[in-house]
């Protein structure tokens, strides 16, 4: 499907129904998202639902029955219905069908809403449990930003900045841990940090996290109060000029055989709805 173009002053966004994916986000003609070069990472910002990460052998159990679901769930590989679009907003919908229930035996509606304003994109996930049983799930995104954001800058000039002083450990899906990943308000970044795959964090106190150069004027600020986890990933190769910053409700480390065993899983009662929101500010 052709990209939908949203415009708010000098801020523009491209969104697409496949994976309800944000494909581009620019301010004053400067693009902040990665271009999706398949040599390194072929996507830009796919939507992750109903799991973040994966199960061992892509297999889990509901009761005594085994189900098979790939990494980061199935939403990123599905065409969503476009429910609403205007100059500033777009709403996508994915509903349970035979394909989803073969992997995830729950009845649901899942909306992804994008709302663009000057210098800011608000993203809202709405999940409705349409069934009669409790429904476990997680939700998030896999957004890749240009790293560095501008030509002439180097990756090692970049850092994460936090609203508050933090003491944060990071972990990867295999339960490897770095107890002192963040100490204070700044965490310098390098590709070597990702030699052990994903860096994930939780128990973050800051309402926002910012990615930018120590010397430059451009940065991305993620307002993430409703997303308790942040996953980070890139290749340990400076030719891979991107970093994924992924606000999400759950990131699992280690083995789990059921959805309920996963860290941060949300359990939604039958007939109820939950919303989760974050925002990207271009600075």
**Residue 42 burial by Cβ neighbours in a 10 Å radius (0-12, 13-18, 19+):** exposed
Q: What is the pLDDT of residue 175?
A: 86
Would the pLDDT of 145 be above 90?
yes
Is the model more confident about 217 or about 104? 104
Q: What is the pLDDT of residue 217?
A: 86
The structural domains of the chain, ordered by start, are 4-282 (2.70.98.10)
What is the arithmetic mean of pLDDT over 203-222?
Answer: 95
Dist CA 79 CA 86 (whole Å): 19
pLDDT tens sequence across 161-209: 999 999 999 999 888 999 999 999 999 999 999 998 999 999 999 999 9
pLDDT tens sequence across 3-27: 899 999 999 999 999 999 999 999 9
- Measured in degrees and rounded to the nearest 5, phi and psi for residue 256 equal -150, 140
Would the pLDDT of 32 be above 80?
yes
Token reading at 178: 């770095």
């Amino acid at each position: 499907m052709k990209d939908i173009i949203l415009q708010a002053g000098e801020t523009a966004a491209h969104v697409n129904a496949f994976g309800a994916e944000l494909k581009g986000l620019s301010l004053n003609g400067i693009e902040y998202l990665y271009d999706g070069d398949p040599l390194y990472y072929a996507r830009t910002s796919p939507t992750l639902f109903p799991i973040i990460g994966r199960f061992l052998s892509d297999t889990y159990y509901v009761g005594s029955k085994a189900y098979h679901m790939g990494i980061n769930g199935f939403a990123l590989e599905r065409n969503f219905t476009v429910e609403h679009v205007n100059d500033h907003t777009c709403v996508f919908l994915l509903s349970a069908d035979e394909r989803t229930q073969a992997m995830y035996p729950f009845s649901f509606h899942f909306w992804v809403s994008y709302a663009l304003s000057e210098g800011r994109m608000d993203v809202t996930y709405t999940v409705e449990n349409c069934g009669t049983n409790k429904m476990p799930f997680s939700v998030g995104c896999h957004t890749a930003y240009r790293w560095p954001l501008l030509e002439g800058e180097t990756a090692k000039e970049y850092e994460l900045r936090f609203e508050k002083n933090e003491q944060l450990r990071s972990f990867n899906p295999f339960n490897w841990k770095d107890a002192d990943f963040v100490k204070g308000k700044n965490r310098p970044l390098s590709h070597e940090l990702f030699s052990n795959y994903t860096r994930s964090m939780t128990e973050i106190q800051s309402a926002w996290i910012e990615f930018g150069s120590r010397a430059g004027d451009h940065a991305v600020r993620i307002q993430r109060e409703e997303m308790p986890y942040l996953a980070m990933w890139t290749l340990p190769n400076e030719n891979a000029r991107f970093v994924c910053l992924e606000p999400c409700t759950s990131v699992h480390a280690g083995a789990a055989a059921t959805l309920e065993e996963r860290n941060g899983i949300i359990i939604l009662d039958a007939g109820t709805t939950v919303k989760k929101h974050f925002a990207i500010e271009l600075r």
